[in-house]
Every structure is written in structure tokens, then in C-alpha cells.
């Protein structure tokens, strides 16, 4: 085993010493979206700092704990707060939580994030189904392959599972949530993108920009998890307005979207039941 695999197995052992809960769906909550955790029927909570060797979030709005429990009859593990590359962690640490949730048993990963919109038609608080991504951050699979997790050269042709996307779209219609569709572009952060970088993202086909998500998707797909994702549009990206961007604005827009986000994720997870093994 290489050092990354050794650390991952150590984290798995540490969690299993605390709980034998086997989740079916993993959920990562983005900035300002942590209130969804309050809708879960909680079985067990585990702060990240109680897991040996686990990276701990340092960003305001990321609580830093796993929530194990139920959405309806679906067993979930929810990350209330994630870690980011810009916090100084290695990319293997950034995706360690994703890999850990897969090893705990999760078959599906539901990603979420706060993102800047690159379409003038977007408004703060809008939700966007991630159809695909463009990763401008280092690929988390660089380095020795962990053969026990997946192949050296995984296909990303269906990085966001078509069946899951259809379920999320149907859920949006059922709960009357307006859900846009688009491509998400991950930069490294922690600076917000420059106007020129936003223009580049638009030219490449990006509809939203942010600092997470794509690398977690890659790690999950590598190990055979099925993935879907939703972005909360918190602002128009740099250069599209004359305003400066700030993190308080991100949290405010996420709060505005909270009710729609919670209803959408809940309905989606309930309907994942029909594709779970």
C-alpha cells in the first residue's frame, strides 16, 4: 500500500470503531448549504477532528462533521462541510472524504456547491444541475494508482450519471423547483476568478465557476460510484457586473436557496431508491 492508501485505510478503521452504519448515498454540502443536514433523521454524528488523520475544514460556513442517518428509508452519510485544495491540503487529502464514504458503502454521491454564474440570465439563489464539468485544478488521480479503488485510466464519458440526472430533473418538477442545467468549471481558488478567467470559462463552455466538486467527482467515478451534482448560483462571476465578490454574499445567496435546495435533494434521494442495489 502507498501512503495515500494507508492513510485512507486508517481513516476507515477510525470511523468503523465509532459506527457500523453502512450508507447507500453520500451527500457533500457546499458553502451555506449545511442546513440540509437538519432534515436528516440522525443516527450518529462524527466530527472530522475525531477521525485519525482526517483533513479538517478551515472555511467559515463549513461545520466539519459527518452526519449518518436517513432521508426517508434511504441510508445516507452527509458531509456538513468539505475541505478544499486552496486550504493547503494535498489533492489526495481533498478527495479522501469522498473515497472514505465510498469505502463505507455509499453507491451514489450527490455533490453540491456554491458557484458564480457565467450567464446573465442567472440570479442569486438559482439552482443548476451539473451536466458535466471542466477541471482546471490538479487531477486527484495524479500519482501512483490505488488499484484497490479503480483502474489507472478511468473513463469520464458519463462523469455525471445520466439516470441520476434524470431523477434529479424529475424531482425538481415534482417539488416545483426551477432547475437550470449547465457545465461547472473548477478553479483552485482561494481568489475569485478574474474577469479574463471568467471569459475563458465561458469560451470553454462553463456556465458556473467555483473551487470544488470536479475533483471529488473524479475520485468517486474512479472507484465506481455514480455521481450527480447541483450548483447554487450565489452571484454573477467577475466581470459580468461592477461589484466586488465576497464570501458573505455567497452565504447570503445560499441561505436564499436553502428551502428549494433541501426540497430538491430530499426528493432526489428518495427516488434514488429505485437505482440502489
| β-sheet bridge partners, residue 114 | 232
Annotated active-site residue 89? The verdict is: no
Annotated active-site residue 222? The verdict is: no
Sorted by sequence, the CB contacts under 8 Å of residue 84 that are 6+ apart come out as: 57, 59, 94, 189, 190, 211, 212
Annotated active-site residue 235? The verdict is: yes
Catalytic residue among 92, 112, 235, 260: 235
pLDDT of residue 63: 73
Within a 10 A sphere around the Cβ of 136, how many other Cβ atoms? 17
Annotated active-site residue 24? The verdict is: no
Annotated active-site residue 114? The verdict is: yes
Catalytic residue among 91, 115, 211, 257: 211
- pLDDT per residue as tens, the chain (277 positions): 689 999 999 999 999 999 999 999 999 998 878 889 999 999 999 999 999 899 987 766 557 999 999 999 999 999 998 999 999 999 999 999 999 999 999 999 999 999 999 999 999 899 999 999 999 999 999 999 999 999 999 999 999 999 999 999 999 999 999 999 999 999 999 999 999 999 999 999 999 999 999 999 999 999 999 999 999 998 887 657 666 666 666 677 777 788 999 999 999 999 999 999 8
Count: domains in the chain: 1
pLDDT of residue 235: 87
**Whole-number Cα distances in Å, 130 to 113, 135, 148, 166:** 10, 13, 28, 12
- CA nearest 65: which of 53, 79, 75? 79
Annotated active-site residue 247? The verdict is: yes
Catalytic residue among 10, 86, 131, 200: 86
pLDDT of residue 65: 94
Which stretches does DSSP call E strand in the chain? 25-29, 41-47, 65-71, 74-80, 108-117, 126-135, 179-186, 208-210, 226-236
Catalytic residue among 14, 247, 249, 252: 247
Instruction: Judge whether 7 and 96 are in contact, CB under 8 Å.
Output: yes
Q: Which residues of 185-199 are buried (b: 16+ CB within 10 A; e: fewer)?
A: bbbebeebbeeebbb
| β-sheet bridge partners, residue 108 | 25, 226
Instruction: Judge whether 248 and 256 are in contact, CB under 8 Å.
Output: no
C-alpha–C-alpha distance, residues 237 and 240, integer Å: 6
Annotated active-site residue 52? The verdict is: no
Annotated active-site residue 87? The verdict is: yes
pLDDT of residue 250: 67
Give residue 102's domain range: 3-275
Instruction: Tell me the CATH number at 100.
Output: 3.40.50.1580
Catalytic residue among 24, 26, 31, 171: 31
Amino acid at each position: 500500500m502507498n501512503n495515500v492508501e494507508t492513510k485512507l485505510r486508517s481513516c476507515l478503521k477510525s470511523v468503523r470503531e465509532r459506527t457500523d452504519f453502512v450508507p447507500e448515498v453520500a451527500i457533500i454540502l457546499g458553502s451555506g448549504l449545511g442546513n440540509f443536514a437538519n432534515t436528516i433523521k440522525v443516527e450518529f454524528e462524527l466530527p472530522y477532528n475525531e477521525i485519525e488523520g482526517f483533513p479538517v475544514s478551515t472555511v467559515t460556513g463549513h461545520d466539519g462533521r459527518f452526519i449518518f442517518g436517513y432521508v426517508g428509508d434511504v441510508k445516507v452519510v452527509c458531509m456538513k462541510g468539505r475541505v478544499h485544495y486552496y486550504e493547503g491540503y494535498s489533492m489526495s487529502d481533498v478527495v479522501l472524504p469522498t473515497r472514505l464514504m465510498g469505502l463505507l458503502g455509499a453507491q451514489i454521491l450527490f455533490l453540491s456547491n456554491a458557484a458564480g454564474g457565467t450567464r446573465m440570465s442567472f440570479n442569486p439563489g438559482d439552482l443548476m444541475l451539473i451536466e458535466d464539468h471542466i477541471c482546471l485544478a490538479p487531477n486527484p488521480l495524479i500519482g501512483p494508482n490505488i488499484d484497490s479503488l479503480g483502474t489507472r485510466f478511468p473513463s469520464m464519458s458519463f462523469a455525471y450519471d445520466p439516470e441520476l440526472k434524470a431523477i434529479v430533473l424529475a424531482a425538481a418538477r415534482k417539488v416545483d423547483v426551477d432547475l437550470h442545467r449547465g457545465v461547472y468549471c473548477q478553479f483552485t481558488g482561494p481568489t475569485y476568478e478574474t474577469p479574463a478567467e471568467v471569459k475563458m470559462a465561458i469560451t470553454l463552455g462553463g456556465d458556473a465557476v467555483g473551487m470544488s466538486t470536479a475533483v471529488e467527482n473524479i475520485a468517486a467515478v474512479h472507484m465506481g460510484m455514480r455521481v450527480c451534482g447541483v450548483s447554487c448560483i450565489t452571484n454573477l462571476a467577475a466581470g459580468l457586473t461592477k461589484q466586488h465578490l465576497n464570501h458573505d454574499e455567497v452565504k447570503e445567496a445560499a441561505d436564499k436557496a436553502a428551502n428549494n435546495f433541501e426540497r430538491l435533494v430530499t426528493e432526489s434521494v428518495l427516488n434514488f431508491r429505485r437505482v440502489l442495489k
